[in-house]
Structure 1
Amino acid sequence: MNHNMSLNMLLSMVISALVIFSGRPVTGGRILLAGLQIPSHLLELQEIGQALARLGHSVYLSIDNNFPEREKLLKPGIRALTFYGMDTTFPQFWSKEASHALMDFILGKVRRNLKVTLRFATQDCTNMMLDEEFMSKVRALKFDLILYDGFSLCPCNAILPYHLSVPGVTVTTTLMGWDARVPVNPAMTPTMLLRHSDRMTFSQRLINTAVYLIASVYRISDYNTSLLQRFAPEVNSWTELQQHTSVLYIVLHDHLLEWPEPQMPNVIRTPGITTRPVGELPRQLRDLMEAATDGVIILSFGSVTGQLPAEIVNKFLDAFSQVTQTVIFKFGGGPTKPPSSVPRNVHLLPWLPQNDLLGHPNTVLFITHCGNNGQYESLYHGVPMIGFPLFGDQHHNAFRMVQHGYGVDMNILTFTVDELVNNIHKVFDEKSFKIAIQKASNIVKSRPMTAQDTAAYWVEHVLKHGGEHLRTGAMDMPLYQFLMLDILLFVLLLSFLSGYILKTILAVVCRKCLKRQTKQKQQ
């Protein structure tokens, strides 16, 4: 009996495996990840890349030879394709010079020229495309698909799949729906450039609509078109290039942190791409977390933390000295020297396994700069937040966090020690924060597939079936047709003409009536 059951189970497993893998090609595809050379952006791509590698695909990551600690950044199962800096006019985005300039901008010490900033941000794309040895290797590998960073400030990585005539998949947190020809309604979907929710007043809806129109006509990225002119001179803008190149848009947020919006078949949402169940912590951290009977506060501002001025760091330390919780403070990697005096409950560490720390049951609060990945990791593990947005979309991210009831936001330049202490107690004392984010956490964890597996599924879908069936005719429409401006103009002209004709007819009829009445009176 047991023998028969074992045979039946084995037969069932074999049949299941055949069903699962029957549609998959015998040999995997060859996929290149091309992203902005910033750790958080490269990690997003690699999370999808690892899921694809587990499915048997060969995955490569384009990475600058001088990228700091590149061995630590590179995920298992992903091979590096190195390019070398060919143009040193501007420093790379991850360089110390760029970090200093960014912090000066955050602190209000400089007001950087927009064109300089954009040239600054696209330096790594320039280096990649101008490295002939790198491009020769890419051509020789004959990639089936390129997963590229669609960051709105510099979507220059789209030039690579276009130049190689390879299908491209955009990975982005900053999708402006109209660019992907998604019929977003500005009356209910706020742009990420504003601090608006989906319940706007008349003036907010008016401003939101105006921003949508202006941002769609005057694209920020189109100020920097040198690569476009060199490698795709027949294309007019970066937005047009992406519409030609991208067969799929993978968007790394959804309504649990943003607000509901319509979706087309070629737009796939995979929020929380860096989230995962808790892994085992290093022994030192594990012992520290388990000993924290009053709870643990995690503070991390990503790679910017080491750039914070000493006076701001000291304000954080003064506030933490007034709470009973253990504080793990990511600190290092910048010019700011470690403070001479650190409270006993505070531990300064140069690197944190952020997702695993947030998932520990003793973690009670996350103090963050409101990066998209960190916010979703906090949401996934049900940890309330205090946000200190620094630049870019982080101000919008802080606003959405507050609106959804997941935490409070503060100003990094003006906050006081007392304000921070009060807000820490507020998040602990008001249970609504924990209840709201725990509910969102339960919703995320109830989904049938992880964000990584969802993204990998749809990339495989495109590899096997192509992406033409996902495209809509709107992708080939100019903006004025997509927004029906020509139809609205036609209706307005028709209404004006009809009104004019009606007015003319009435005037003629009235004149005739008056003439008849006058004639009758004269008789």
Structure 2
Amino acid sequence: MRILLFIVLFVSVCEFARCANILAVIPSPFFSHQATFRPLWIKLAEKGHKITLITTDLMDPNENITQIDYHGAYEVFEKNSFNNLLKKGLNIFEALLSFKDLMRSNMDYQFTHPGLLEMLENNKTFDLMLVELAQPGWPLLSYKFKCPFIGLTSMDTYSSVHAAVGNAVHPALYPSADAGFGEKMTLKDRVLSTFIMVMGEAVFKFVFTPFTDDYVKMLIGNDLPSTDEMWRTMSMLFVNANPVFFPSRPMTPVTINLGGGLHLNKPRELPRDLQKYLDESKHGCIYVSFGTTVNSAYLSAEQKEIFTSVFKDMAPMRILWKFDEVNIANKPKNVEIRKWLPQQDVLRHPNLKAFITQGGLQSMEEAIDSAVPMLGMPFYGDQNNNVNKMAHKKFGLKLSPKEMTKETLKAALKEVLENPIYKKNIDKLSAISKDQPMKGLEKAVWWTEYVLRHGTQHLRSPSADIPLYQYYFLDVIAVLAICAYVMYKLTKYLFLSLVNVVRKLFNCFIVKKKKE
């Protein structure tokens, strides 16, 4: 018994020794970004790792997770009219310039937060940092905390981040998601995509990044390296890109595609009243949600009236609507509106026949998981791109909110509900998305601990460290072009010289003949 007890204690001590002190940072004030990675924090905590989590939306208490509340970032974004900027439909260049004041206010809040300052003042160190790359400045903190870092993104990431770890970057094959190009790009699309990528990256690299780097250095220390330098020290990049929406670009070993759906939970019981409402929807039910960011302020009175009028005409089919305006005018009897709904479990109910969505990536992944056809109504950002791909693959339809009328909305819903092609296609995609050798969460946990055990310098691709002119063979093309030009000039010179010699000989021959 003593030997057995000693072995148990020894194994426990060894297991404890492998547990790490991890800093996790998701600073974006969007609930979907927070929800995507929550299962990862919980799983790492279950394995004994100590997590310090910087988040805008606090989780349920966990003895191995210390949370630092950054919820004030929502107020910062609201004060700087972030929602108004989104509604304008800015392109990538206008967005980068318009967000400058927003980012300054955001960095003022984030990098002077008492929770962060306390860690810096106490010279806190960590074994590893997992940080979302959507907000500027945060990767620089891994230098302060003397630890490697893993970059996180809840969707596909910027071309500059892919390039930093050596992944393929090509404007015709992998265009910016915010540009909203279709599945098959025309010549015009490819030219525009190249312009967007080149100019967007130039603005990002030479305007936006220097500005944010200088501002962060002013707030927390001038000894920090640049963002470009830090990205190139990234131990690993976790991209949560569902292959349904993003093409499988060639990626280096330090990039792990979690495959989307990281946030998907196991089925849970619905609240009793909600279960009763859906069970009694014998003629079917349509679920409506525009995510956590798009609220009633995005919809005009005319658009709201279109929805209520069309929904009324669809009775006895029921409508379940997640919306902040619960007491909307002229609400029909067959419409139930709630401020919050357990979306994943609502979508799993067998009486759910269609989902009207803004085209957010996580919402669409949940609908694919439950095999529910969609009507996509994109408002901003990557939503247009996501909905375009949905329409191209025919597991849903697209309807622009700006172009919506009673007739177009009614026709679109009729098509999604009655044409079996949409249900057939999403059933197939659902089966494909679930048929994986390892779930995204398992991959994320395994590779996180791999970085803790070994680091990833041995996995780094040489493509990450060569300049773009070498990556695209521009220097080789230049040498070949110069050689071709030299050969052309030399051949032309020799040819002309030969012609001159022949001409002179011919003239001499003619002169000689005349003398004779």
Describe the shift of the 1:158–1:122 C-alpha distance in structure 2 as closer, same or farther (beyond 3 A). farther
Corresponding residue to 2:256 among 263, 268, 273:
268
Query: For residue 418 of structure 1, what is the aligned residue in structure 2?
Result: 407
Shift of 1:422: 0.9
Q: Per the alignment, do residues 345 and 135 of structure 1 end up closer, same or farther by CA in structure 2, a change over 3 Å counting?
A: same
The equivalent position to 1:55 in structure 2, one of 28, 31, 47, is: 47
TM-score between the two structures when normalised by the length of structure 2: 0.85
Which of 143, 148, 157 is the matching residue for 2:138? 157
Q: 1:294 to 1:222 in 2, by over 3 A?
A: farther
Contact 1:31–1:147 (CA under 8 A) maintained in structure 2 = yes
**Corresponding position: 1:277 with 2:266:** yes
Contact 1:281 1:356 in 2 (8 A): yes
In structure 2, how many angstroms separate the alpha carbons of the residues matched to 1:195 and 1:451? 26
- 8 Å CA contact 1:33–1:60 kept in 2: the answer is yes
Mapped to 1, the partners of 2:224 and 2:463 lie a distance apart of: 18
- Give the whole-Å Cα distance in 1 for the aligned partners of 2:427 and 2:63: 31
Instruction: Check if 1:191 corresponds to 2:173.
Output: no
Give the distance between the partners of 2:198 and 2:347, measured in 1 at CA: 39
Residue 49 (structure 2) pairs with residue 92 (structure 1):
no
Pairs within 5 Å for 1:56-71? 56-63=48-55, 70-71=57-58
SS of residue paired to 1:92: helix
Structure 2 unmatched ranges of 5 or more: 1-6
SS at match of 2:238: strand
- Note the C-alpha offset of 1:102: 4.4
Matching of residue 325 in structure 1 with residue 324 in structure 2: no
Q: How does 1:35-434 map to 2 (within 5 A)?
A: 35=26, 36-63=28-55, 70-71=57-58, 78-82=65-69, 92-93=76-77, 95=78, 98=81, 101-102=84-85, 105=88, 114-121=96-103, 123-131=105-113, 133-137=115-119, 141-151=124-134, 154-172=135-153, 173-177=155-159, 179-181=161-163, 182-197=167-182, 199-219=184-204, 222-223=207-208, 225-229=210-214, 230-231=216-217, 238=227, 240-270=228-258, 271-303=260-292, 304-307=294-297, 308-323=299-314, 324-332=316-324, 338-434=327-423
Secondary structure of residue in 2 paired with 1:218: helix
Unaligned runs of 5+ in 1: 1-13, 65-69
Give the number of the structure with larger relative contact order, counting CA–CA contacts within 8 Å between residues 6 or more apart.
2
Sort the Cα spacing of 1:457 and 1:24 in 2 relative to 1 into closer, same or farther, 3 A. Answer: farther
Q: CA deviation at 1:228?
A: 0.8
Structure 1 residues 245 and 309: alpha-carbon distance in aligned structure 2, compared to 1, 3 A threshold: farther
The Cα offsets for residues 405-436 of structure 1, whole Å up to 9 and x where unpaired, read as 12111111230122111111101122111111
Q: CA deviation digits over 1:442-482, x for unaligned, max 9?
A: 01112132222222222121111112123212222233332
Q: Is the 8 A contact 2:368 2:429 kept in 1?
A: yes
**CA offset digits 1:342-371 (Å, max 9, x no partner):** 112111101111111112222221111111
Q: CA RMSD in A?
A: 3.2
Secondary structure at the residue paired with 1:441? helix
Distance 2:443 2:33 in 1: 18
State the AA in 1 paired with 2:285: V
Distance 1:258 1:368 in 2: 19
Structure 2 residue identity aligned to 1:169: I
Identity of aligned residues (%): 24
* Residue type of the alignment partner of 1:130: T
3-state SS in 1 of match to 2:97 = helix
